[in-house]
Structure 1
Amino acid sequence: MRYALLISLATGIGYLPFALTIPILPGHVTDRLHGGPADVGAVVSSYAVTSLLSRPVSGALMNRLGTRALSIGGAVLTALATVCYPLAGSIGQLVVLRLVVGVGMGVMQAATGVWPVQLVAKDRQNWALGLGGTVNYLALGLGAPLGTLLAGWTGMAETFVIAGLVTLIVIPIAAYVPEVRIPPKTEKADVDRRQALLGTVLPSVALVFTAFGFAAVASFAVAKFDALGVAGGAAVVTAYSLTVVVLRIAGTWIRWEVTRPVELVALFVVEAVGIALVGLSHGLAMGVVGGVLTGVGMWQIYPALGVFVVRSVGERGRAMALSVFGACFTVGVAIGSGSLGLIAQAAGYRAMFLVCAACILLGLLVAVTASRVRGPTAAQG
Structure 2
Amino acid sequence: MCMDYDKLVKEFGAERFEVMPDELKDLRMAKYIVSHRDFLSISKKPFAIVSGRGPSGKFHLGHLATFMFVKQMQDKYKCRVFIPFSNDEKFLLRGISFEDAQNYAMDNLLDIIALGFDPELTDIIIDLYNLPQDLYNLAIRVSRKITYSTVKALLGFTSETNIGLSFYSAMQVAHILYPTMKYGLPSVVIVAIDQDPFIRLTRDIAEKLGYHKPGALHLGYIPSLQGEQKMSSSSPYSAIFTTDDPETVKKKVMNAFTGGRETLSLQKEKGGNPSICSVYAYLDLFGADTEQIKKDCVAGKRMCGDCKKELITLLNAFLDEHRRKREKSKNLVRKFLK
| TM norm. shorter chain > 0.5 | no
Which protein, 1 or 2, shows the higher relative CO under an 8 Å CA cutoff with sep ≥ 6? 1
Higher helix proportion (structure 1 or 2) = 1
Higher strand proportion (structure 1 or 2) = 2
Q: TM-score, normalised by structure 1?
A: 0.28
Q: TM-score, normalised by structure 2?
A: 0.30
